[in-house]
A and B are shown apart, each in its own frame.
Chain A
Amino acid sequence: MSSSTTPALPPVLPPVEAIPPEMRFVETDLVRTKLKRQKIAKAVFGTMSVAMILPLLLIIGYLVERAWPSLSLEFLIDVPRAGMKEGGIWPALIGTIYLVFISLAVSAPIGIMAAIYLNEYAKDNWFNRIINLAVINLAGVPSIVHALFGLGAFVYAANLGYSIISASLTLAIMTLPVIIASTREALASVPMSFREACWNVGATRWQTIKAIVLPNSISGILTGVILQVSRAAGETAPIMFTGVVFYKAVERGTLLPYYLNEQCMALSMHLYTLSTQVPDVKESLPFATAVVLLASVLMVNASAIALRVYLRSRKKW
C-alpha cells in the first residue's frame, strides 16, 4: 500500500435506534473469527488435559489387570517365599513405612522450623540469600547424589552402618529442601497486613507467628509434608546405598520386625529386585508390588487433599 492512499475506515454502522431490536446483534467476520478461535483454544487445552489423564488411567488399569492373580490380603501380610518367587511383600511394606515415617519425623520439624526462620525472621542479607540459594539448589540435586552423600555421611562418617536409620536420614536430607520450600510458600500466603496489624499492637514476632501465621498456614504446611511421603516411599537409589537389602527374613505379619540399626526391605527396592534380579518369578508378583506401592502413594495423596479441603473449609478470611 502506498503512503498516499487513505487507510480503509471501519464500516459506518447505522445508529442503534434505526435497527429493529431483534436485529441489533450483527455477527460480523470479526465476531465469527473470535468465536471460532475460542472454540479451537478450548478444544486444544481440553485435549491436552485428557491426554494427560488417559495414560495414567491406562497404566493403572494395566497394572491392576496384570497383578490381579496375586492381589489379596494374604499377599500384603505374607513374606516372600521360595527364593522370592512366591509369597507376599510384608517385610518390604513395613520397611517402607519405617523409612518414610522416620525420615519425615526428622525432616518435617527441621524443615518447618527452618522455613519459619527464613520467612519470618531472616533479614534480606547476603548470608540468608546464600541459605535460600542452597535450599533451592538442594531441592534440585538428583537422588543418586543424595544416596552417595548418605553413604559417606551416615553410613561411614557417622558410623551408623547400613541401617534403617542411615537410610531414613538420607531420605530426610532429600525431602528437607522441598519441605522448606513448600512451608515457606504456605507461610507467605498469609497476608502481610495481618502481621503488621499484630506488630502495631506490640506483639513480638513469635506471638504473631503463634497466633496468626501458623494457624492460617498449617493446611499448606501439612500438605507439603504429606506430599513428601509419596516421594520418600518411591525413591530407590538413596535407600539402596544406605540400608535396604534384597531380602531379609522376618516373621509373617509382625508389626515391629526391625531394629533401627538393622537393614530392612522396602517396596521400591523390592519391585526393582523382582523385575530384574529374580529369574522365573511368578509374572503377577512384580505387578502386584507396583500396585501396592502406587495405591499407598495415591492413598497418602488423597489424604493430603482431604486434609486440605477440611482445613480450607475452616479458613478465616
Chain B
Amino acid sequence: MSDSAKKRVEVQDLRLSYGDKEVIHGISFDIRDREIFGIIGPAQSGKTSLLRCLNRTVEFTASARMSGLVKVDGEDIMKVKDVYSLRRKIGMVAPLPVGLPLSIYDNVAFAPRCSGITNKSELDAVVEKCLRQAALWDEVKDRLDSLGTKLSGGQQQRLTIARALSHQPEILCLDEFSIAIDPVTTMRIEEVLKELRKEITIILVTNLTQQARRLADRTMFLWNGEIVELDRNEVIFSDKPANRKTYEYVNGIFG
C-alpha cells in the first residue's frame, strides 16, 4: 500500500479527558483507505476511548471532554450536523458480544430500519448479506426468528459483527472482539476480516499482539494515552522497531 493512499481517518492532537483525568494526551495519526489498522497496548492505554471518540459515542459519558481535530473522510466529526450518519459510517464491535433482545433477523435489520428502510425484500437482502459476511448465515438461516440473545457467545459476536455491517459502514472498528470467544471462532472471524478488507477499512484494537501481527497492515502501539510507535507491521514486529518498548511489549518481556 502506497503512502499516497486516501486517508479515511485523520487525527490531529486528539486529547480526551474524563473529568480531571486526561486519558489521551494529544495523539496524531492517519488511517488509510482499506487497510487493517491495528491498535495494541495494555489496559488503560486509551484504546477503547479512542474508538469512542471516532463515532462520538464518547459524548454519552457526561464527564468526557474531547479536543483536537478528528476527520473522517475529510469531514471534521465535531462539525457534522447528523451525528447518526457519522455513526452509521463507522461500524463498531464491542469486546463482549451484545445480542440485542430481538430476533436474529431484527438484530441485523435494526440499523437499516433506524435509517428508514422498511421495504421487506430490501431488508431481507441486507440481513442475508451481512449474516453471510459475518460467517453466521449457514448456522442461523433456518431460525432467523429466534432470539439473538439465545445464541452462543461466539455466534453472538458474529451477530454483533453482522449488525455492525448492516448499516454499510466504510470503517469497521473491532474492540478486542476475541476476548469472549474461543480460538476456532476467532480464526473464522479473522478469515472474515481478511475478506472484508477488500471493501472497507478496518480498525482492529486488540490485546493479542499476535492477532495484530497476523491481520494488520500497520500497527499503532498505545501506552498511557500516547503513541509509542506507529509503523508498518514489518517494522513493529521486527527485531528492531524504533522504540525498545515496542519490542519488549510485542515479545512479552515487559516490566
- CB pair A201–B164 under 8 Å, yes or no, is yes
Inside 8 A of B62's CB, which chain A residues have their CB?
Answer: 123-124
**Min CB gap A131→B, angstroms:** 15
Which of the 9-residue segments B8-16, B70-78, B107-115, B183-191 touches chain A?
Answer: B107-115
> In the complex the two chains form, what is the Cα distance from A315 to B167 in whole Å?
27
Report, as a range, how many residues of chain A touch the other chain: 20 to 34
Known interface pairs A200-B94, A207-B114; A317-B149 also in contact (CB < 8 Å): yes
> In the complex the two chains form, what is the Cα distance from A316 to B85 in whole Å?
29
**B29 in contact (CB, < 8 A):** no
Which of A196, A203, A216 has most chain B Cβ within 10 Å? A203
Nearest residue, chain A, Cβ from B149: A317
**Min CB gap A204→B, angstroms:** 6
In the complex, how many residues of chain B place their beta carbon closer than 8 angstroms to a beta carbon of chain A?
A: 29
Could you count the A-B residue pairs with CB atoms below 8 Å apart for me: how many are there? Answer: 74
**A199 in contact (CB, < 8 A):** yes
- Of residues 1 to 21 in A, which have CB atoms within 8 Å of B's CB atoms? none
- CB pair B94–A194 under 8 Å, yes or no, is no
**A35 in contact (CB, < 8 A):** no
Nearest residue, chain A, Cβ from B111: A201
A316 is contacted by which of B87, B94, B101 (Cβ under 8 Å)?
B101
- CB pair B101–A202 under 8 Å, yes or no, is no
B84 is contacted by which of A193, A202, A316 (Cβ under 8 Å)?
A202
A200 is contacted by which of B87, B101, B115, B149 (Cβ under 8 Å)?
B87
> In the complex the two chains form, what is the Cα distance from A207 to B55 in whole Å?
18
- CB pair B96–A216 under 8 Å, yes or no, is no
- CB pair B110–A204 under 8 Å, yes or no, is no
Interface string of B141-176 (1 = CB under 8 A from A): 000000101000000000010011011000000000
- CB pair A193–B60 under 8 Å, yes or no, is no
- CB pair A201–B98 under 8 Å, yes or no, is no
- CB pair B94–A193 under 8 Å, yes or no, is yes
B87 is contacted by which of A194, A199, A216 (Cβ under 8 Å)?
A199
**A211 in contact (CB, < 8 A):** yes
**B92 in contact (CB, < 8 A):** yes
Nearest residue, chain B, Cβ from A201: B111
Known interface pairs A193-B94, A200-B92; A316-B147 also in contact (CB < 8 Å): yes
- CB pair B101–A317 under 8 Å, yes or no, is yes
**B67 in contact (CB, < 8 A):** no
10 example contacts (A-B, Cβ-Cβ < 8 A) are as follows: A196-B57, A197-B94, A197-B100, A199-B57, A200-B94, A200-B164, A201-B163, A202-B87, A202-B115, A216-B101
A residues sitting closer than 8 Å to B (CB atoms) are 123-124, 193-194, 196-204, 207, 211-212, 215-216, 315-317
